[in-house]
Amino acid sequence: MSSDDTNNLQKSLDIVTDLQKNGKDVEAIAQLDAIITQFSGHPHPYFLLGISLFNLKKYNKAIDLISRAVAIAPEIAEYHTYLGIALSKTGKKSLAKIRFKSAITLDPRQTDAAFHLGDILIDEGNPKEAIEYLQKAVEIKPDFVEMWNNLGLCHKAIKQLELAKKCFEKAIELNNNNADSHINLAMTLLIMGEYKKGWQEYEWRFKREESPLFCPPPDGVAKWRGEPLEGKNLIIICEQGFGDSLQFVRYIPILRKKCAKLLLITQNNLIPLLQSIPEIDLITNQNHNLGRIDYYCPLLSIPQILKTTLKTIPNKIPYIESIAELTNQWQPKFSQKKINVGLVWEGKPLFQNDPLRRRSTTLNDFAPLGNIENVEIFSLQKGPPAKQIESTPDNVDIVDLDQHINNFADTAAIIANLDIVITIDTATAHLSGAMGKATWVLLPFSPDWRWGLESDTTPWYPKSLMFRQITPNQWQEPISQMVSLLKKWPIK
């Protein structure tokens, strides 16, 4: 290529780069088509064309074009990085890993490749390997906020909490407005038992684009921040998952003593059960036609306002009770001579991509329960995972209750008739614990903050026992502990 051709190519590519920076990818593609016609043997036009197609979410076409650039110039690390990113977008994680590692081998300063490779390794449950890449990357690019966040999550996943805390604090130092950094720090502080600072940091959840509240507060109503409530009407709004609602409604009796009227906005599936709490004056799923409201309060902000510590957690059990009529209807279905065990093995689908918790297991993992005499197992599992019952091992006889459970009032009525509930970290663990039922919770190596790190008990649910993974992703040992203990359960 002559020097004039080189200069002309560079000028054309500079124009394309400016178009891409300004979000004009359609115009950039038109320019690149002409450039490629003239300079078909040069890799960079193919690479830039792939980038524009990627920006337009045409990922497969982007992969084809960037692959062509890599084929022409395999020595350019940047091409491997962006090919890996495109492959990752289409779910081709294994191929993406190869490209990211190639990029880093060619140029250790490819921090984007290290970041995305770390993401994949975290998803695969390999935080230790991810740390190797992320640590080197933050040394090269110490102002990469998201990298510090991911590095902190990896340390948290292997229970190196002080290191995780420092990573999140570093991310906050670099960008104090990054809500994810604050929330990650909050989760770390809470599992460490540092509740005061943890609750404060957790308020950053409202800085995220998507509100955690079940529904918005009524228009014009002020947020309660601890002001006197005498003569005032307070509305509490549930947020996030069912388990969060079940865990924190324990605060309602405390607040009801402070105000004239207490209202609760919550999820539909919880209303039939929670409406029996006497301290709730009105329970609903909407934010209008509620009469006079003086303040609203997000449910999970209450601990921060009340300055809850590990020693002051309200843990009077039970604080949720089943509906007597439903409980009586279920009673004849349970044996009076056997040990009635409720079982849940998988959480909601939204946790399938939550690798740092890896809380779900399979029904087959619980097969050893089938070897215990005088035990009858009842599945409390909801949704698609309940279909695993169809391929239950021969030694496991399990009663499927999925079709009979319409809401949490039904679940509570069943639990009231059981002797024990065995469950992973899901809403059932909170419901059973709140009811004061003997509850055994199966926990991953790096659990959610509310279960703590080491103890076999939790101050949130005094009658619950924790069975923890000793080795990440290995359930055999904690389930074996459950089996041994269940064999000693008093026979009726």
pLDDT tens, position by position, 320-349:
999 999 999 999 999 888 999 999 999 875
pLDDT at 353 over 50: no
Dihedral of the CA atoms 84, 87, 89, 90 (nearest 10)? -170
**Residues 415-436: pLDDT tens digits?**
999 999 999 999 999 999 999 9
Residue type, position 408, single letter: F
CA distances from 175 to 106, 170, 217 (A): 30, 9, 29
Q: How confident is the model over 5-20, as a mean pLDDT?
A: 76
Residues 6+ apart with CB under 8 A from 40: none
Q: 2, 69, 60: which is closest to 32 by C-alpha?
A: 69
**Residues 85-112: pLDDT tens digits?**
999 999 999 999 999 999 999 999 999 9
pLDDT at 181 over 70: yes
- Give the separation between CA 459 and CA 123, rounded to whole angstroms: 31
Q: How confident is the model over 284-293, as a mean pLDDT?
A: 93
Q: How confident is the model over 31-60, as a mean pLDDT?
A: 89
Helix (H, G, I), strand (E, B) or coil at 224: coil
**Sequential DSSP letters for 467-482:** EE-SSTT--HHHHHHH
**Residues 449-458: pLDDT tens digits?**
999 999 999 9
pLDDT band at 1 (very low <50, low <70, confident <90, very high): low
What's the pLDDT at 98?
A: 97
- Give the separation between CA 49 and CA 19, rounded to whole angstroms: 12
pLDDT at 14 over 50: yes
**Residues 296-327: pLDDT tens digits?**
999 999 999 999 999 999 999 999 999 999 99
pLDDT at 352 over 50: no
420-424, strands of its sheet edge to edge: 398-400, 375-379, 339-344, 420-424, 439-443, 464-468
pLDDT at 294 over 60: yes
pLDDT band at 72 (very low <50, low <70, confident <90, very high): very high
**Sequential DSSP letters for 25-67:** HHHHHHHHHHHHHH-TT-HHHHHHHHHHHHHTT-HHHHHHHHH
User: What number of other Cβ atoms are within 10 A of residue 435's Cβ?
Assistant: 23
